[in-house]
Amino acid sequence: MKVLVASRNAKKLEEMRRILAEHMTTVEVVGLDDVAPYDEPVEDQPTFEGNALVKARAGVAATGLPTLADDSGICVDALNGMPGVLSARWSGPPKSDDRNNTLLLAQLADVPDERRTAHFACAVALAHPDGRELVVEGRMDGRVEREVRGAGGFGYDVLFVADDHPGRTTAELSRDEKDAISHRGKALREIAPLVADLLG
């Protein structure tokens, strides 16, 4: 049994494969680079759930494979929940983690430490060829630091300190530490047994 994960992000794919494998040992997880190319949809929905479903539905329609897709981002309280669904494209095209992080730091430069609260949100959707769909959400609360720290993870990990691991950014955590608390880890652990059950 194959499941498509609708992503080309190597770090995200590896993270998803690792967590899914705990529940789905007989399932082969493939990414977008492992299937015939298709027109990927525009992520134009106002919610993480909406964008995850758009990507999952496109994947199952194009490949006939059960398709998992996620949409995630950082929601900063002082910015009224932004970047939110715009997280990956916050600084404009082309996508750049470094530019996104630099822009976020600039936007929060005058915000005092006690108001730099934020959370990562993730929605993971499954679209099955028979029309059934599942969506779960995960969340990781924390705060935005004033400088980039750490070499692990991706995206805004270098700026984010989770409430569950104060003192270190999520880019400074070990893989297992981050998996245990991350928004994506929580959502994947919730959906993995549901997917395993759905695939029989």
Of 71, 97, 130, 163, the catalytic one is 71
| Known binding-site positions for substrate | 7-12, 72, 154-157, 178, 183-184
| Known binding-site positions for Mg(2+) | 71
Buried b (16+ CB within 10 A) or exposed e, 104-135: beebbeebeeeebbbbbbbbbbbbbeeeeebb
Two structure tokens written together for 149? 């720290």
Q: Is 34 a catalytic residue?
A: no
Check if the beta carbon of residue 70 is closer than 8 Å to that of residue 184.
yes
| Known binding-site positions | 7-12, 71-72, 154-157, 178, 183-184
CA distance 2 to 142: 35
Two structure tokens written together for 103? 């822009």
The set of catalytic residues is 71
